[in-house]
Amino acid sequence: MIKSINCDKLYRPIGPYSHSVLSNGFLYISGQIGIDKNGNLVADILKETNQIMYNISCILENVNMNFSNIVKISIFLKNIKDFDIVNKTYMNYFNNNFPARETLEVSALPLNANIEISAIASI
């Protein structure tokens, strides 16, 4: 069974996708950029990262999960030099039980964002 799930606390998806999809005990969270509820991209890498983590927390809460359910994260950075800033912020959301992860530098992201994060969570 596959169920598309959007979170009312967040912006409407900016394309033909869902905030997340629940399938066979896994929640696949679409790539999140630092968009606030009004659909505005926030100002810089630190604010974008915090907004993304807030968005992910809302998506998780929507299905009675939290960051401890995340098993895999993918981070896409427009500038790999932002790696340390992202790591310092990212660490605040986990209790030393970090999920598997990769971080890649990319040439561009939607709405000219600096960072995008997608995740997979397990029940």
pLDDT at position 37:
93
Q: What is the mean pLDDT of residues 76-83?
A: 98
pLDDT at position 15:
87
In this predicted structure, the answer to whether residue 90 has a pLDDT above a threshold of 90 is: yes
- The domains of the chain, with CATH numbers, are 2-122 (3.30.1330.40)
Q: Is 0.85 surpassed by the pTM of this model?
A: yes
- Averaged pLDDT of the chain: 95
Cα angle: 41, vertex 106, 23; to 5 degrees: 75
The Cα–Cα gap between 1 and 115 comes to 31
- Would you say 10 and 18 are in contact if contact means Cβ atoms under 8 Å apart? no
Q: What is the mean pLDDT of residues 6-22?
A: 92
pLDDT at position 23:
97
pLDDT at position 14:
83
Which tens digit of pLDDT belongs to each residue from 19-71? 999 999 999 999 999 999 999 999 899 999 999 999 999 999 999 999 999 99
pLDDT at position 48:
98
For residue 4, CA distances in Å to 20, 42, 79, 117, 120 come to 6, 26, 31, 18, 14
Task: Write phi, then psi, for 61 (nearest 5 degrees).
Answer: -60, -35
In this predicted structure, the answer to whether residue 95 has a pLDDT above a threshold of 90 is: no
